[in-house]
Amino acid sequence: MEISKKQKAQIITEFGLNVKLQEIDVPEPKSDQVLVNILYTGVCHTDICFMENALSTKKMSLPMVAGHEGAGKVVAVGKDVKNFKIGDKVGVKIINRICGYCENCHTSGRDNNCENQEELITNKFGTFQQYITIAEGEAVKLPENVDLKKAAPLMCAGITVYKGLKETNCQSGEIVAISGASGGLGSFAIQFAKNAGLEVIAIDLGDEKGQHCKDLGADHYLDASKPDLIKRVQEVSNGRGPHGVLVVANAIKAFEDALEYIRNYGVVVAIGVPNQNEFKADLMNIIGRHLTIKGTTLGNRQDFKEGVALLAKGKIDIPVEVRGLSELPEIIQRINNGQIKGRVVLDTSK
């Protein structure tokens, strides 16, 4: 297959959101890597945090190409690659390589927290470009029937909330609240939760987002901008509150509210990345009501297999808005203004 020597990428050369569409070299795969033509990439609020250097746990460098959820096709393979061939459909996640020998790599289910992992954006250019190299072990093989437009946001938004729902420990028939339910992560979370047999309380800002959440299967929708949210959540959950809460909203107040309306012995899982990292909580509320607070990012290899299988079987169908890679600046502005429902996916050819 003839591969171009040059490609288009959205680049920043100083921290901030002033992205420029530029021409850069197409990378060559190492012996254990595949070269993927990224056809679609999702746009996540965390990309904005990367570009603004707002993540306290990450060391950023410039120039930067953000983007960390992509999908495309293999166009070249290294000489030692055994499980991929040219033409295979592939998902691109933020983890580009793991070491295989650290404590987390050797602990079942923790490979997504490899202590020496190579990540997109922090260690190499991300998915806001047309080509990328991936270590064979971290490339996500996709079934032929999977729509790449839908698979791209699954690589971060989808698998992150899939893992997050597992961490709530909610069982079929129980109630889960999803705070920030109308965005990309929330849209996935509603569908995964319904597939797991859970009753879903969708929470977001504004009445207009309610129909979107109901269309995805939410049993209840509550507008968090209206008074008495804590009381209203408890009213629709038998007066006791949900068994678990998934906070994907990028606001500290959403997390603080969750600790108030969760029922006794409930689990609050933090996923959303706000600009402010500190929160206030009543310690006696947590102790006296036996509450659990968890944080989680992405998912392990098994989570990816399970999530991809659900997408391939048609169990989930994330609503996507397809725009061109050249339109990234406008999409960033809309994300900052809270104007996105579902997920925006960029066609890298446009």
- pLDDT tens profile 75-110: 999 999 999 999 999 999 999 999 989 999 888 888
pLDDT at 71: 96
What the block records as the tokens of 177 is: 């609240």
- pLDDT tens profile 132-142: 999 999 999 99
- DSSP letter (8 states) at residue 311: H
- DSSP letter (8 states) at residue 262: S
List the one residue out of 66, 73, 95, 75 whose CA is nearest residue 155. 95
Q: Are strands 292-295 and 267-270 parallel, antiparallel or unpaired?
A: parallel
Is residue 57 scored above 90 in pLDDT? no
Q: Distance between CA 303 and CA 295 in Å, rounded? A: 16
- pLDDT tens profile 286-316: 999 999 999 988 899 999 999 999 999 999 8
Rounded mean pLDDT, 195-201: 96
Q: Distance between CA 163 and CA 266 in Å, rounded? A: 17
Q: Are strands 118-119 and 175-179 parallel, antiparallel or unpaired?
A: unpaired
pLDDT at 108: 81
pLDDT at 275: 67
Is residue 58 scored above 80 in pLDDT? no
- pLDDT tens profile 66-81: 999 999 999 999 999 9
CA dihedral 176, 310, 274, 279 (to 10 degrees): 30
pLDDT at 106: 87
Q: Are 152 and 141 in contact (CB under 8 A)?
A: no
Q: Please report which confidence band the pLDDT of residue 218 belongs to, taking 50, 70 and 90 as the band edges.
A: very high
Q: Chain-wide mean pLDDT for the chain?
A: 91
- pLDDT tens profile 2-40: 788 999 999 999 998 999 999 999 999 999 999 999 999
Tabulate helix, strand, coil % of the chain (nearest 5).
30, 25, 45
- pLDDT tens profile 167-195: 999 999 999 999 999 888 899 999 999 99
Rounded mean pLDDT, 42-66: 85
Is residue 345 scored above 90 in pLDDT? yes
pLDDT at 33: 96
Q: Distance between CA 165 and CA 174 in Å, rounded? A: 12
pLDDT at 1: 64
pLDDT at 8: 96
- DSSP letter (8 states) at residue 111: G
Q: Are strands 89-92 and 320-324 parallel, antiparallel or unpaired?
A: unpaired
Rounded mean pLDDT, 102-131: 90
DSSP 141-156: E--TTS-HHHHHHIII
pLDDT at 318: 81
- pLDDT tens profile 260-273: 999 999 999 999 87
Q: Please report which confidence band the pLDDT of residue 49 belongs to, taking 50, 70 and 90 as the band edges.
A: confident
Q: Are 287 and 264 in contact (CB under 8 A)?
A: no
Strands of 26-130, DSSP E: 33-42, 70-77, 89-92, 95-97, 118-119
Distances (CA, A) of 349 to 38, 88, 322, 325: 9, 19, 12, 7
Give the position of tokens 């600046």.
329
Reading phi first (left if > 0) and then psi (alpha if -120 to 50, else beta), residue 56 is in alpha
Rounded mean pLDDT, 328-340: 85
CB atoms within 10 A of CB 344: 23
Q: Distance between CA 299 and CA 305 in Å, rounded? A: 10
Please classify residue 299 by burial: count the beta carbons closer than 10 Å to its beta carbon, then call 0-12 exposed, 13-18 middle and 19+ buried: buried
Q: Please report which confidence band the pLDDT of residue 61 belongs to, taking 50, 70 and 90 as the band edges.
A: confident
What the block records as the tokens of 315 is: 């169990």
Three-state secondary-structure class, residue 117: coil
pLDDT at 339: 75
Q: Are 341 and 186 in contact (CB under 8 A)?
A: no
